């Protein structure tokens, strides 16, 4: 039914998952940094994090991606010329995609982690400090593990939205599932079949993710 393009779609699926997981890693780092900045007592840091989350949530992901891809290309080549290189440098769509999506979801995860951090009772932290743990030990042994449980529902939601966002990386030329689908649809002249197949594969990712997060959620709350 897929005229032998099934394997190609699965290759694309692997790329899509790769982009999604790499973006999630970037987003988690940025989200934690953003939450720390928002919760810090330094107004400059908190203000910068506020501007970051507002800007990102106000601009479509496609516009940001085009800005990073084309803008990054122009910037890199401008710098290369200044440093005496005369070749033309292409930006890798995988890198541009991961950076953009990671940057976008970092803003959403900033709110997630901030809320989760605030959800852990102050008494927990105080008790840790009273036991003579250092602030770092309190964070690692007391706050972080409990915070993760509060962050889980929002983390799972953001992951589902993130996976779907990766589809637009095909528009800057990455060979992900969407692009493989487009190629197969063009070659066989059966676009409906292939886009429907891609839709089912995305649905498969989201369904499996939901099951996985449901399991994690039950596991993290089993002591309650």
Partner 1 sequence: MNFDAIAQNLPLYFAGALTTLKLLAIALAGGLVAAVPLAVLRSRPQSLARAPVWLFTYAIRGTPLLVQLFLIYYGLAQFAVVRESVFWPWLSSPWFCACLAFAINTCAYTTEIVAGAIRNTPHGEVEAARALGLSAAQVMRRIVLPSAARRAIPSYGNEVILMLHGTSLASVVTLLDLTGVARDVNSRFYIPFEAFITAGALYLAITLALVGLFHAAERRWLAHMAPRR
The residues binding partner 1 (CB under 8 A) are: 55, 57-64, 66-67, 70-71, 73-75, 160, 164-168, 170-171, 178, 182, 185, 189-193, 195-196, 198-199, 202-203, 206-207
The label of the residue with tokens 């899509």 reads: 16
Handedness of CA 175, 14, 61, 32 (dihedral sign): negative
Q: Which of 68, 146, 130 is nearest to 101 (CA)?
A: 68
CB of 61 to partner 1, least distance (A): 7
- Kindly provide the residue ranges of all beta strands, DSSP E only, lying in 49-114, ordered along the sequence: none
CB of 144 to partner 1, least distance (A): 28
Spatial CB neighbours of 16, under 8 Å, sequence gap ≥ 6: 163, 166, 167, 176, 177, 178, 205
Nearer of residues 94 and 202 to partner 1, judged by Cβ: 202
CB of 9 to partner 1, least distance (A): 12
Nearer of residues 46 and 66 to partner 1, judged by Cβ: 66
Nearer of residues 32 and 185 to partner 1, judged by Cβ: 185
Q: Which two tokens stand for residue 148?
A: 């993760």
Nearer of residues 35 and 91 to partner 1, judged by Cβ: 91
């Amino acid at each position: 039914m897929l005229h032998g393009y099934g394997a190609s779609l699965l290759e694309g699926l692997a790329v899509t998952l790769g982009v999604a997981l790499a973006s999630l890693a970037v987003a988690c780092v940025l989200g934690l940094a953003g939450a720390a900045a928002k919760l810090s007592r330094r107004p400059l840091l908190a203000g910068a994090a506020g501007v970051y989350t507002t800007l990102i949530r106000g601009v479509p992901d496609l516009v940001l991606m085009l800005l990073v891809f084309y803008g990054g290309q122009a910037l890199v080549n401008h710098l290369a010329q200044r440093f005496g290189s005369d070749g033309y440098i292409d930006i890798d769509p995988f890198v541009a995609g991961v950076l953009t999506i990671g940057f976008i979801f970092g803003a959403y995860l900033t709110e997630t982690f901030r809320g989760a951090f605030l959800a852990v009772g102050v008494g927990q932290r105080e008790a840790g400090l009273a036991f003579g743990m250092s602030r770092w030990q309190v964070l690692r042994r007391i706050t972080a593990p409990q915070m993760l449980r509060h962050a889980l529902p929002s983390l799972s939601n953001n992951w589902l939205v993130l996976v779907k966002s990766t589809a637009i990386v095909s528009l800057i030329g990455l060979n992900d599932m969407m692009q493989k689908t487009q190629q197969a649809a063009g070659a066989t002249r059966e676009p409906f079949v292939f886009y429907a197949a891609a839709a089912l594969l995305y649905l498969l990712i989201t369904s499996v993710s939901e099951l996985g997060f449901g399991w994690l959620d039950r596991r993290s709350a089993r002591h309650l």
